[in-house]
Amino acid sequence: MENWFTVEKIDNDTFAISEYGHWEETHCYLLCGTKTAILIDTGLGIADIKQVVDSLTELPVLVITTHIHWDHIGGHKYFDNIAVYETERDWLSKKFPIPLQVVKNNLMCKPCNFPEKFNIGDYSIFQGEPQRILHDKDCLDLGNRHLTVVHTPGHSPGHCCFYEPERKYLYSGDLIYSGCLDAFYPTTNPCQFLQSVRIIKQLDIIKVLPSHHQLNIPVNIIDRIESAFSELERGGQLKQGNGIYDFEGFQIHI
């Protein structure tokens, strides 16, 4: 593990497991109930995230996936109970949409103190059959704790946020964070991205838990992101290939 991961306590049974040593600054989240635990995403796959999870809980763990991008499924290889959204099942089990060399180039594009045992030549993208398929509005029961699947396409066709109604937490994946929001890839859709932000705007949220960069972000960033996308839409700019737009606290790349 070599101190690659940073663990931060959100509350007594919720933990952020982060990779601050890499430019992606990924966050995964471990949620512990009374009968099972859920791990939202598994990060880059640079080091063994399961060692961290095992140090935090003895409960059986279900891995659920915000979306099938390389920086969110890297550690899936360490687990045997994985759930993905129905639209991206084939990305996990048949063909990942990005070539391996492109992923390696992204992984190594900025200087990083990788763990001593990490070898980029051995790096691969996880491929395998999920044990569970998620659908919009599914409710996941952890025992005295529940998580709702919210399908939020735009960043990818099967992107999901996960909403915890009792605690009013939103695990926002790559839909909401403080950084550059990407809707420029061929598999992204900026118009769907806007509609997804509008969907989660309707939820009663007191805490947003993003997948990248700054961990503690204000809830009103949702309103600001919705306003920014709406402004681009009104100006006829919500079309791929238009470039990067700067806003307070985030960017939009379309």
pLDDT at residue 101 tops 80: yes
Flag whether 11 is in a domain.
yes
Per-residue pLDDT, 98? 87
Contact 218, 210 (CB under 8 A): no
- Is the whole model's pTM more than 0.75, yes or no? yes
Q: For tokens 């796959």, name the residue.
A: 45
Mean pLDDT of 154-182: 98
Q: Is residue 77 part of a domain?
A: yes
Tokens for 207, please give them. 């805490």
Phi, psi dihedral angles at 60 (to 5 degrees): -65, 145
How much helix, strand and coil, in percent to the nearest 5, is found in the chain? Answer: 25, 30, 50
* CATH assignment at residue 146: 3.60.15.10
Number of domains into which the chain is organized:
1
Kindly tell me if the per-residue pLDDT of 1 is higher than 80. no
Query: Does residue 111 fall inside a structural domain?
Result: yes
The answer to whether 200 touches 222, Cβ cutoff 8 Å, is: yes
| Position 34 in a domain | yes
State how far the Cα of 164 lies from the Cα of 147, in Å rounded to an integer: 5
Q: Render pLDDT for 118-131 as a digit per residue (tens, 0 to 9).
A: 999 999 999 999 99
Bridge partners (DSSP) listed for residue 247: 250
Read off the pLDDT of residues 191-221 as tens digits, 9 standing for 90 and up. Answer: 999 999 999 999 999 999 999 999 999 999 9
Domain range spanning residue 104? Answer: 6-180+207-216
Tell me the per-residue pLDDT of 44-79, one tens digit each, with 9 for 90 and over.
999 999 999 999 999 999 999 999 999 999 999 999
- Tokens of residue 47, six digits: 């080091």
Distances from the Cα of 32 to the Cα of 5, 11, 16, 26, 48, angstroms? 19, 10, 12, 20, 19
Asked if residue 35 is part of any domain, the answer here is yes
In a domain, 75, yes or no: yes
Strand 26-32 and strand 14-19: the pairing is: antiparallel
Residue recorded with tokens 């045992």:
117
Tokens 């990942």 — which residue? 96
**Is residue 198 domain-resident?**
no
| Within a domain: 186 | no
Q: pLDDT exceeding 70 applies to what percent of the chain? A: 99
